[in-house]
Amino acid sequence: MQIFGVDIGGSGIKGAPVDVELGDLAEERHKVLTPHPATPDATAGAVAEVVSHFGWSGPIGITFPGVVTRRTVRTAANVDKAWIGVDAVRLLGDRLGGLPVTVLNDADAAGTAEMSFGAGRDRTGTVMLLTFGTGIGSALFRDGLLVPNTELGHLELGGHDAEKYASTKVKEDEGLNWSRWAHRVQKYLTHVEMLFSPELFIIGGGVSRKAEKFIPLIEGIRAEILPAELQNNAGIVGAAMAAKAAAGR
């Protein structure tokens, strides 16, 4: 069975049909740049462009980089603040011609996919997925059950949001080498571990493709650290899984 998944990020919006039985993309994903400013209308237009690329006409799962509760956006750290208070399901559904739409937090989607098909498969206890990209997203699981909308990239670290200190974007903007960036990630993981004591950290986002360059440099963390197996496709897969669940399929 195929369901469409879209992953809205701070720098790019990507999507593809997903084989939800296999947990993999059914076709090569299509990506467009996130509009700047990433207002609701502009972002919805970009999502529609991704979906129309495939001529899709069924249920669609869409991730959002912020807290989403009961269809409504509550926070918007890396997109325009005009999103706050928006009924994302209505807005995106209308722009997509009335197709059934499910919207959820981006890291929650990625984590759900990793727990079902990736590095968290068959793992119990406390598992934390962290996505490193424009910001830092988080998904917390206890015995496979999601605690939604944790948004731990906004924990205070050194007087600032953690994602302003240790995201991939900060690495690029400040020209940090792998060693210096790994040290920042280590400080962030130490803080998260102190608060939640997970048995496993899963490191996701596009940087997970280069896990061998930084994970071995992280020291002093008691939890196991693994790269996301679905890498930067996890959000798309998790979005499709959410749409499948919402449709009762």
pLDDT at 162 over 80: yes
The pLDDT of residue 249: 66
pTM value surpassing 0.85? yes
The pLDDT of residue 178: 98
**How far lies 115's CA from each of 127, 177, 208, in Å?**
9, 30, 16
**Residue with the two structure tokens 């790269």:** 227
Average pLDDT over residues 208-221: 97
Tens of pLDDT along 66-124?
999 999 999 998 999 999 999 999 999 999 999 999 999 999 999 999 999 999 999 99
pLDDT at 15 over 80: yes
pLDDT at 238 over 90: yes
CA 119 – CA 225 distance, rounded (Å): 10
Q: Which CATH code of 3.50.50.60, 3.30.70.270, 1.10.287.110, 3.30.420.40 fits the domain covering 122-230? A: 3.30.420.40
For 63, what's the count of Cα atoms within 13 Å in the CB-facing half-sphere?
Answer: 35
Q: Which CATH architecture has domain 2-108+233-247?
A: 2-Layer Sandwich (3.30)
CATH 3.30.420.40 intervals, the chain: 2-108+233-247, 122-230
The pLDDT of residue 158: 85
Tens of pLDDT along 32-57?
999 999 999 999 999 999 999 999 99
